[in-house]
Amino acid sequence: MTEFEKLIYNKHLAETRSNQGKPFKLRQNFDNVDESTKLYLTKLANFFNKHKNININKFFKAPFAIYKDKPHLGLDFYLSMKAVKLYREYINSINRQSPDSDDAKMSFKLSMEFVIKFCKEKKIKFSDYVNYREENSMNSFFEHLKHGKITLLFLFMYPSFESQLKTVDVEIRQHILGDTFNDIAKMRVKFYNCSEQTKSIFKKFFDSAVKVMG
């Protein structure tokens, strides 16, 4: 087994047990893993390597966030189209959170941490993030938003976000972002109508990154 396959095993273990309210201990010894589990891990590793923008933790967490009965789901379930559909539903639900909720504030903070790391890797200013694109590609934030690495609430902090959004044809935008595209107008209203305390928190986070990284 590769180190990546071991990581996938433990991420699945952690999300499954924690979302069911059960204790767990990350596996260290993989000598006795059965052959079917190894096969599932190999297929999942290939899947994640092919779709590098997928957030693995959120991919495993999605069914538990969507389903109320907290089912037990083996590794084989995550090789299904149903798992991909639930992942997309979960990402959309994150973007529908009330700006004043604790979850939204945490998602904003995680978005900022991701963008800081991305900007360092690409050697660009934090303030230039929404304008950044690879050669012959769309703005990078499209893929990041699609896979839940950033949220709409975070992107609204950039004055040029919506003008950059409109550089891509409407049909293409809708194809890439799915239901998130339809939520932009509603979430914009929620963003501007959130409490002054929430606005202050978002601004403090955002301004601190701009101050350090430009």
Q: What is the pLDDT of residue 140?
A: 93
71-121, pLDDT tens digit by residue?
778 999 999 999 999 998 888 888 888 899 988 898 999 999 999 999 999
* Amino acid letter, 130: V
pTM metric for this prediction = 0.76
Q: What is the pLDDT of residue 70?
A: 66
Contact 130, 167 (CB under 8 A): no
The count of domains in the chain is: 2
- Domain termination residue (choose one: 90, 113, 137): 90
CA-CA distance, 175 to 177, in Å (whole number)?
A: 6
pLDDT of residue 169 exceeding 70: yes
Looking at the structure, tell me whether residues 106 and 83 fall in a common domain: no
Looking at the structure, tell me whether residues 114 and 39 fall in a common domain: no
CA-CA distance, 60 to 57, in Å (whole number)?
A: 5
Looking at the structure, tell me whether residues 107 and 79 fall in a common domain: no
Looking at the structure, tell me whether residues 113 and 182 fall in a common domain: yes
Looking at the structure, tell me whether residues 66 and 132 fall in a common domain: no
Closest C-alpha among 61, 109, 192 to residue 184: 192
DSSP single-letter state for residue 69: S
- Domain termination residue (choose one: 90, 117, 150): 90
**Share of residues in the chain with pLDDT > 90 (%):** 56
Looking at the structure, tell me whether residues 73 and 114 fall in a common domain: no
Looking at the structure, tell me whether residues 188 and 124 fall in a common domain: yes
Looking at the structure, tell me whether residues 166 and 186 fall in a common domain: yes
20-62, pLDDT tens digit by residue?
888 889 999 999 999 999 999 999 999 999 988 888 998 999 9
Contact 44, 31 (CB under 8 A): no
SS3 of residue 30 by DSSP:
coil
**Average pLDDT over the chain, rounded to whole?**
90
Q: What is the pLDDT of residue 28?
A: 94
Q: What is the pLDDT of residue 78?
A: 96
Element at 175 (helix H, strand E): helix 170-177
- Domain termination residue (choose one: 68, 90, 112): 90
Closest C-alpha among 97, 87, 109 to residue 178: 87
Q: Range of 172's domain?
A: 98-213
Q: What is the pLDDT of residue 174?
A: 80
Torsion sign, CA atoms 137, 157, 104, 129: positive
Q: What is the mean pLDDT of residues 117-136?
A: 93
Q: What is the mean pLDDT of residues 178-203?
A: 87
Looking at the structure, tell me whether residues 209 and 115 fall in a common domain: yes
Looking at the structure, tell me whether residues 136 and 173 fall in a common domain: yes
Looking at the structure, tell me whether residues 157 and 174 fall in a common domain: yes
Looking at the structure, tell me whether residues 80 and 130 fall in a common domain: no
CA-CA distance, 125 to 117, in Å (whole number)?
A: 11
* Amino acid letter, 167: T
Q: Which residues contact 49 (CB under 8 A, 6 or more apart)?
A: 4
CA atoms within 13 A on the CB side of 32: 3
Q: What is the pLDDT of residue 122?
A: 94
